[in-house]
Homo-oligomer: A and B are copies of this chain.
Amino acid sequence: MPKETYIPCLLGLFRQYGYDGATLSKISEATGLGKASLYHHFPGGKDQMVETVLDYLEKWLSENILPALESEGDAVTRLQRMCLRLNELYQGGEQPCIFAILLSGSARDVFHAKVKALFQGWIDAIANVLIESGMDAQLAKQRGEDVAIAIQGSLILSQALDDTTPFRRTSEQLPTIICR
């Protein structure tokens, strides 16, 4: 089996346990692969596993989130399409954001640059939608950040309360609120 097969499994593990908590034993058990097999597919060890997951997600974002933002229609509609995709990514608010997870612990040193770039790309893409619809560029950038803030915050709160309502409500109301 190619290593891509195990990406969803790895993603789930790093989401649930974080970088430091996702031990090789857990990874081995969850994937059904022995340590030797894991190191055959990922010679770079745990770091490379995360790297692979991040590359996969970067591709997923560029094939799902960006097209939604660059699709036809007004700004509200486009943001709604984005939220539909985010709903898949976070499984309706049940799953935490792996990018946020990777910001703490020993993972931060290694992956911060990549995570930062991903956030900036996302925010810029949102801002462009708003600029296209006639919003002032500086305000559009702020509103782009506000989207990221609302999504990330609602995921945290959904995790904290063990209830997906905050995320689902936020992703529903967000598009209209952002566009004024």
Contact = CB atoms under 8 A, between A and B. Distances in A.
Contact of A18 (B20, B116, B145): B20
Contacts of A20: 17-18, 20-21, 105
Contacts of A150: 149-150, 153
Contacts of A103: 96, 156, 159-160
Contact of A162 (B17, B116, B156, B162): B116
Contacts of A148: 153, 157
Contacts of A154: 149, 153
Given A150-B153, A153-B154, 19 more contacts: A16-B104, A17-B106, A18-B18, A21-B106, A99-B160, A100-B160, A103-B160, A105-B105, A115-B160, A142-B169, A145-B157, A148-B157, A149-B149, A149-B154, A149-B166, A151-B153, A152-B152, A152-B157, A153-B153
